[in-house]
Amino acid sequence: MIKDFKELIERASRQDRVTIAVAGAQDAEVIEAVSMAENLGLVEPILVGNKGEIEKIANGMGLSNYRVIHGETPEESSSEAVNLVRSGEAKVLMKGFVNTSIYLRAILDKANGLRTGRLLSLLAAYEIPQYHKLLYCTDSGVNPSPDLEQKKVILQNSLMALQGFGMEMPKVAALAANENVDQKIQSTVDADGLVNMAKRNEVERCIIEGPMAFDVAFDPKAAAHKGIDSKITGDVDLLLFPNMETGNSLGKSWLLWNNAKWAGIILGASAPVVLGSRSDTAEIKLNSIALACLASNIKERGN
């Protein structure tokens, strides 16, 4: 169990430094986050983009241990950063001052990208003051309305990461509006399908329950009141969202009303990908870098 982002960063810093390639690195918030990560012993940065602007920002922030590769355009910077990861020279890819569509196009390029054949999905982690450990969630940012097979891959992506983080049997709640399987409510049918897949050992080892309403997932009293014998209520590790809208709304509500902190990485590519928004603070970016560093070392250990 990882309690908060401080503990996450401490755990990542105990591993070998990870080389990170940043596409379009001429951004103060990005370089600030990379500088913090470098100072904490997490990364060795390769900054790709406008060389003059990068060096001006980096030197102004006191970042000295880094490489720069000049990229004339956002497309060139994204392609070069992806190439560094594909070649094995870097283990994590990070988005800087480039448009998301350009960045993803380079990742998904059939000839020169980071495709694995698996669906890409977002693994988010939330530090919520009212909860006793980091809460992992998927998918609130890549797949709008995944079907059952896609949810299976999304679940697999996250379980591979969580088990590598040290969770031998992650507790998963497949969210829906209620606990009854209703053929008219696809999220309940899909949740039931995933539970049955787990029983047949068709997904990584986990304890998954669903369909499960939000209150039952986090309040043992609610589970007891509804007569539900749950092994995960009040101690969920991973929330599997029925769709992007649910995940996006819940995540933003935690950030707005619960003073939560968060991080997110893209899984399913050949290496962890930090996607993030330009509006993300350096702290969010640092948390995401730490999450990606853990995920990259998991891949190296073969987990």
> Residues with Cβ < 8 Å from 243, sequence gap 6 or more?
144, 145, 146, 187
Residue 166 bridge partners (DSSP): none
Domain that holds residue 236: 121-257
Tell me: pLDDT of 166 over 90.
Answer: no
In a domain, 180, yes or no: yes
In a domain, 17, yes or no: yes
Tens digit of each residue's pLDDT (9 = 90 or more) over 101-126: 999 999 999 999 999 999 999 999 99
- Do 204 and 109 lie in one domain? The reply is no
Q: How many Cβ atoms from other residues are within 10 Å of residue 73's Cβ?
A: 13
The whole-angstrom separation of Cα 164 and Cα 205 is 12
- Do 20 and 93 lie in one domain? The reply is yes
- Do 197 and 244 lie in one domain? The reply is yes
Tell me: pLDDT of 301 over 50.
Answer: no
- pLDDT, position 298: 65
Asked whether 195 and 208 are in contact (CB, 8 A), the reply is yes
**279 pLDDT tier (thresholds 50, 70, 90):** confident
Residue 47 bridge partners (DSSP): 22, 68
- Residue 201 structure tokens: 């050992």
Residue type present at position 276: G
| Nearest alpha-carbon partner for 89 in 78, 77, 97, 81 | 81
In a domain, 233, yes or no: yes
- pLDDT, position 82: 98
- Residue 263 structure tokens: 């991080």
- Do 70 and 181 lie in one domain? The reply is no
- Do 126 and 223 lie in one domain? The reply is yes
**278 pLDDT tier (thresholds 50, 70, 90):** confident
Q: What is the DSSP string of 115-141?
A: --SSPPEEEEEEE-TTSSS-EEEE-SS
- Do 102 and 72 lie in one domain? The reply is yes
- The total of structural domains in the chain comes to 2
In a domain, 263, yes or no: no
> In this structure, are strands 273-274 and 238-240 parallel, antiparallel, or unpaired?
unpaired
Tell me: pLDDT of 280 over 90.
Answer: no
- Do 109 and 160 lie in one domain? The reply is no
In a domain, 262, yes or no: no
Tens digit of each residue's pLDDT (9 = 90 or more) over 29-67: 999 999 999 999 999 999 999 999 999 999 999 998 999
pLDDT: which is higher, 301 or 133: 133
- pLDDT, position 48: 98
Give mean pLDDT, residues 184-206.
95
198: domain CATH number is 3.40.718.10
- Do 138 and 253 lie in one domain? The reply is yes
- Do 169 and 218 lie in one domain? The reply is yes
15: domain CATH number is 3.40.50.10950
- pLDDT, position 217: 98
**165 pLDDT tier (thresholds 50, 70, 90):** confident
- Do 128 and 109 lie in one domain? The reply is no
In a domain, 71, yes or no: yes
- Do 35 and 75 lie in one domain? The reply is yes
Distance separating the N- and C-terminal Cα atoms of the chain: 17
In a domain, 284, yes or no: yes
The whole-angstrom separation of Cα 257 and Cα 278 is 22
- Do 33 and 10 lie in one domain? The reply is yes
